[in-house]
Amino acid sequence: MPKINLARQMDRQLPTELSGFLRSAGRVAVGRRENLYLVGGAVRDLLLGEANYDLDLVVEGDGPALAAVLAPGSKLTIHRRFGTAKFRWQQWSVDLATARRECYSRPGALPRVVPGSIGDDLWRRDYSVNAMAIALNPRSFGGFMDLYGGREDLGAGLLRILHERSFIDDATRIWRGLRYEQRLGFKLERNTLRLLKQHTVMLDTISGDRLRYELECVLAEECPERVIRRAAQLSVLASLHPYLEGNGWLRQRYGRARRLTRPQSPSITLYLALLAYRLTEERKEELISKLRLTKPVARTLRDTTGLNSRLKALSAARLKPSQIYDLVHGYDITAVTAAMLVGGEAPAGLRLKKYLEKLRFVKTALSGTDLKAMGVAPGPGFREIMNKLRRARLDGQAVSRQDEEALARKWLAAGPPSPPA
């Protein structure tokens, strides 16, 4: 079989600066008597003709040490346990790892690693299409390495694991497979699909932090609902929580979210809030605990429950703007956005939209300092006057500073309200 060299394709597809960096990195590596390779998704996407400028490099040598030479003065993120370093070169992200072999002490555990060859490093990867490499040393620059049939699988549109224990060793590969399948428009190879179904239970061996990371990667996809729907079909979604659903309801809400935030993508937290929206309070707490969600994200999920309980009140006829404000104010904005997307064109949804677009930004002209100058002493009455002024602004009863001053003086002259009998 003739040797393949991708140097011209690299020069053609990669930005000139990036191609130059790779050539320079190869020269530095050979000067250190090390062999450097471009691996993983960048190689896959190069063969597919897709743009992927985040570089994954592997060196038969010392990854962190080489990174320090390639990026002097740059901030390096180093993981000594795995022999990896991450840095930015101009506007691009670079991961540089020591070639290694991996050994798993038990299913789901992080691997024990020892230095190895490029062949060892490619063998430890998830799918054959991600287990190809391109040599970067000057004499062999562009040389293509495909030890496990990745190029053939790429041409056939297949995702194939490299060995029978792949999902047992690291079940997060299940989630990654579903992401690649939907992103690339590929299919899981028959035996890979069989083993995925058989070993879905191994997801229970993965820590909550790692499961959360995989879910965040799904929600960062262009259309995450496709991955979630496929995960639901294969009972993978149920491993996160048995009551999560990847159906048409979710697809519609995710579409609304994208239309709302374009040209940006919706936040991962918004997508997650919609995914968990219809879970009961108790089931949301189970999901929060399982995924070890951060306090801000957990608050968003909890606030969707509180807002859901107010949808009936928000649907009432002839609500004043101040009443809408009082029903919604204090809830997390992402939770309000999720509830608005769920409500759609129904009255509650439209009122939540009004709150998000207008009401939450309404401010009084008078400040606390102004009230003190008018003789209002700090205390409950002070806060009540500020709240009443805001309501007057919201409902159009005060449209200027003078209107607010007149109302404040009127309330002060009337004195404090009588205590209830």
Within a domain: residue 256? Answer: no
Is residue 377's pLDDT more than 80?
no
Task: Note whether 305 and 395 are same-domain residues.
Answer: no
Number of domains within the chain: 3
Within a domain: residue 252? Answer: no
Is residue 301's pLDDT more than 50?
yes
Is residue 164's pLDDT more than 70?
yes
Within a domain: residue 26? Answer: yes
Task: Note whether 64 and 89 are same-domain residues.
Answer: yes
Task: Note whether 45 and 116 are same-domain residues.
Answer: yes
Within a domain: residue 342? Answer: yes
Q: What is the span of the domain harbouring residue 315? A: 295-361
Q: What percent of the chain has pLDDT over 70?
A: 97
Within a domain: residue 185? Answer: no
Task: Note whether 373 and 356 are same-domain residues.
Answer: no
Residue 31 neighbours by CB under 8 Å, 6+ apart: none
What pLDDT score was predicted for residue 47? 94
Q: Among 119, 149, 179, identify where a domain stops.
A: 149
Residue 31 is encoded by which pair of tokens?
Answer: 């000067």
pLDDT band, very low/low/confident/very high, at 54 (cuts 50, 70, 90): confident
Closest CA to 402 of 366, 377, 363: 366
What pLDDT score was predicted for residue 299? 97
What pLDDT score was predicted for residue 2? 57
Instruction: Indicate the length of the chain as a whole number.
Output: 421
What pLDDT score was predicted for residue 418? 46
Q: Among 149, 184, 203, identify where a domain stops.
A: 149
- Terminal CA-CA length for the chain: 97
Q: What H or E segment, with its residue span, contains residue 56? A: strand 55-60
CATH code of 19's domain: 3.30.460.10
pLDDT tens readout for residues 239-282? 999 999 999 999 999 999 999 999 999 999 999 999 999 999 99
pLDDT band, very low/low/confident/very high, at 370 (cuts 50, 70, 90): confident
CB 301 within 8 A of CB 236: no
Residue that has been written with the tokens 């428009």 in this structure: 185
pLDDT band, very low/low/confident/very high, at 415 (cuts 50, 70, 90): low
Better-scored residue on pLDDT, 54 or 236: 236
pLDDT band, very low/low/confident/very high, at 105 (cuts 50, 70, 90): confident
What pLDDT score was predicted for residue 242? 96
Task: Note whether 60 and 101 are same-domain residues.
Answer: yes
Question: Comparing 48-52, 143-147, 177-181, 221-225, which segment has the lowest mean pLDDT?
Answer: 48-52
What pLDDT score was predicted for residue 72? 87
Is residue 217's pLDDT more than 60?
yes
Question: Comparing 34-38, 353-357, 395-399, which segment has the lowest mean pLDDT?
Answer: 395-399
What pLDDT score was predicted for residue 1? 45
Task: Note whether 54 and 112 are same-domain residues.
Answer: yes
How many angstroms separate the CA atoms of 85 and 27, rounded?
19
pLDDT tens readout for residues 9-27? 999 999 999 999 999 999 9
Give how far Cα 120 sits from Cα of 98, 113, 140, Å.
11, 11, 20
Q: Among 132, 149, 166, identify where a domain stops.
A: 149
Task: Note whether 102 and 119 are same-domain residues.
Answer: yes
What pLDDT score was predicted for residue 375? 75
DSSP per-residue codes, 135-183? E-SGGGTTBEEESSSHHHHHHHTEE-BSSTTHHHH-THHHHHHHHHHHH
Give how far Cα 58 sits from Cα of 11, 84, 94, 133, 260, Å.
20, 9, 11, 9, 41
Closest CA to 133 of 10, 2, 49, 14: 10
What pLDDT score was predicted for residue 108? 78
Better-scored residue on pLDDT, 311 or 420: 311
Query: Mean pLDDT, to the nearest integer, of 105-114?
Result: 79
Within a domain: residue 249? Answer: no
Within a domain: residue 212? Answer: no
Is residue 305's pLDDT more than 90?
yes
Task: Note whether 347 and 378 are same-domain residues.
Answer: no
Residue 391 neighbours by CB under 8 Å, 6+ apart: 322, 325, 326, 397
Task: Note whether 408 and 308 are same-domain residues.
Answer: no
How, if at all, do strands 158-159 and 187-188 pair?
parallel
3-state helix, strand, coil in the chain (%, to 5): 55, 10, 30
Query: Mean pLDDT, to the nearest integer, of 86-112?
Result: 86
Within a domain: residue 283? Answer: no
Taking all residues of the chain, what is their mean pLDDT, rounded to a whole number? 92
Task: Note whether 10 and 108 are same-domain residues.
Answer: yes
Is residue 116's pLDDT more than 70?
yes
Task: Note whether 388 and 356 are same-domain residues.
Answer: no
Task: Note whether 312 and 395 are same-domain residues.
Answer: no
How many angstroms separate the CA atoms of 225 and 105, rounded?
34
Amino acid in the structure at residue 49 = G
What pLDDT score was predicted for residue 420? 43
How many angstroms separate the CA atoms of 9 and 6, rounded?
5
Is residue 149's pLDDT more than 60?
yes
How many angstroms separate the CA atoms of 34 and 398, rounded?
74
CB 56 within 8 A of CB 38: yes
